[in-house]
Amino acid sequence: MEGLVSIAGTSLFQTKEGYLGSISQVSSADGSHLGTKTFSLSSISRLTEVIESMLSQFPSRTEYHTMSIGLVDGSDDEDIRDSLNAISQTIARRKGLSDPGQQFETSHAVAYCGTLPPDESILYIMFLDFAPNHIASATLVTLHDDDEDDGGRKTLEICGSNVTITEHVSLEDAISSVAVYAGEPPLHRIVLLNPPLSLTPTLHATLFEIHPNVPIIVASASDISQALVTDQYLEFCRWSSCCFYEEFPIRPPICIASATGVAIPLVDWDGGCTPAGVFSTSVDNQTTATLRLLLGNHPLAKDNVERGVIALTGLEPRPRGVGCIQVAAKSFLCVQGFQNMLTVNVEQLMADGQRCPRTTSKIFNFPHFFLDINDECKRYIFDGRRGYEYKEVQSELPE
């Protein structure tokens, strides 16, 4: 194996004793797995020393190294990044190269998604990560991007939370508070990132109650380091044959169909914010509502292009005309692989504008909302010179 060069990846997990780490290597030539080693350390100050020592124990010469860390915010994150860049600089000096530039760590969740099958499936995955007295969650949507210049499986976090476990917060309550996902489409799986063995039975029991039909998968530190380094190899393969350029497509406005058939403006799209609107019901004590999402800003709903429908149920009864349904839309114009996606967050409000206590916000994901939109958006834009006049729009939603 003399002269063999490799790509290495380290996954790092917080423990009560300090940190647990796993280092994996794959061949730079064909991506074959060359080995995995684990380590532990009590102080982050020794991280660079330990990783460089372990890299020297592999029978190959490392030409690139990357790292993944957990979802829980940690006070050592900057020190970990400094260590990552120190190792990169050591590798660059050995290769006779100049400063490689700033390098950034990724998350265990993103590393896991990088090696999912390169098919057309769009997956919604919740990750739970663990640190001493903390549990964090992140729900990611992942899809395979066939872009010939920079393809591969892409990931995007759509929601997340964390909780501190104290004497007043039980493990079951902590899990229940972070493992919440109210969204459409539903979760495809839940991944536990290197959970402590003592927590595993409680985790499975509690998660099964919350998400009874969702598979639960346990990913060890070694699983993550192997996924991380394999994903990096695949990324290098794509980089070697691609041309980089930035293209920011034009996005047409978005509106919502009112109960009277008039289009209610929601987004005069600029790609840089999360537009929101507050809507009411069209009859007294209405407990259901329909959101028809339209592309365009023509005054009449029928003249725009319908790209999604959301059916709301279980609304708190309110008088007609009282604004109580908040709708927020978000696009990802500059996120590779997700330029066509729109997420819509819907929640019911009380009279003082606060969220209703008996309802929770719900996320609706439309991965192909902007698919096949011609950059020339004339068909979606209303020409005011037509002289069309209509009365002030009532932001009322049909049942």
Q: Give the model's pLDDT for residue 251.
A: 67
Of all residues in the chain, the percent with pLDDT exceeding 90 is 18
Verify that 141 and 233 share a domain, yes or no: yes
Verify that 279 and 168 share a domain, yes or no: no
Over 50: is that where the pLDDT of 245 sits?
no
Verify that 215 and 277 share a domain, yes or no: no
Q: Give this prediction's pTM.
A: 0.77
Domains: count for the chain: 2
Verify that 182 and 270 share a domain, yes or no: no
Q: Which amino acid is it at 193?
A: L
**246 located within any domain:** no
Confidence of residue 260 (pLDDT cuts 50, 70, 90): confident
Provide the domain limits for residue 269.
254-397
35: left (phi over 0), alpha (psi -120 to 50) or beta: left
Verify that 259 and 233 share a domain, yes or no: no
Q: How far is CA 183 from CA 191, 195, 360, in A?
A: 17, 25, 10
Please report which residue ranges of the chain form alpha helices under DSSP H.
47-55, 77-94, 108-113, 171-178, 200-210, 221-239
Over 90: is that where the pLDDT of 300 sits?
no
In this prediction, residues 276-302 reach a mean pLDDT of 83
Q: Give the model's pLDDT for residue 11.
A: 93
In this prediction, residues 257-286 reach a mean pLDDT of 75
Verify that 209 and 323 share a domain, yes or no: no
Verify that 71 and 159 share a domain, yes or no: yes
Q: Which amino acid is it at 268?
A: D
Verify that 321 and 204 share a domain, yes or no: no
Over 90: is that where the pLDDT of 189 sits?
yes
Q: Give the model's pLDDT for residue 273.
A: 52
Return the higher-pLDDT residue of 372 and 130. 130
**247 located within any domain:** no
Could you give the count of Cα atoms lying within 13 Å of 51 in the half-sphere of its Cβ?
Answer: 33
Domain boundary among 182, 211, 239: 239
**57 located within any domain:** yes
- CB neighbours of 192 closer than 8 A, spacing ≥ 6? 128, 130, 200, 203, 216, 217, 218, 219
**88 located within any domain:** yes
Verify that 230 and 347 share a domain, yes or no: no
Q: Looking at 110-124, 236-250, 331-345, which range is the least confident one?
A: 236-250
**244 located within any domain:** no
> Any idea what the CATH number is for the domain that residue 288 is in?
2.60.34.10
Q: Give the model's pLDDT for residue 128.
A: 94
In this prediction, residues 95-122 reach a mean pLDDT of 80
Confidence of residue 108 (pLDDT cuts 50, 70, 90): very high
Over 90: is that where the pLDDT of 36 sits?
yes
Q: Give the model's pLDDT for residue 124.
A: 92
Verify that 204 and 328 share a domain, yes or no: no
Structure tokens of 244?
A: 């980089």
Return the higher-pLDDT residue of 380 and 270. 380
> Which DSSP symbol is given to 186?
P
**297 located within any domain:** yes
**34 located within any domain:** yes
Verify that 260 and 235 share a domain, yes or no: no
Verify that 272 and 390 share a domain, yes or no: yes
Domain boundary among 180, 209, 239: 239
Residues 13, 225 contacting (CB under 8 angstroms): no
In this prediction, residues 165-171 reach a mean pLDDT of 79
**283 located within any domain:** yes
Integer Cα distance of 242 and 149 in angstroms: 5
Domain boundary among 207, 239, 271: 239
Over 50: is that where the pLDDT of 390 sits?
no
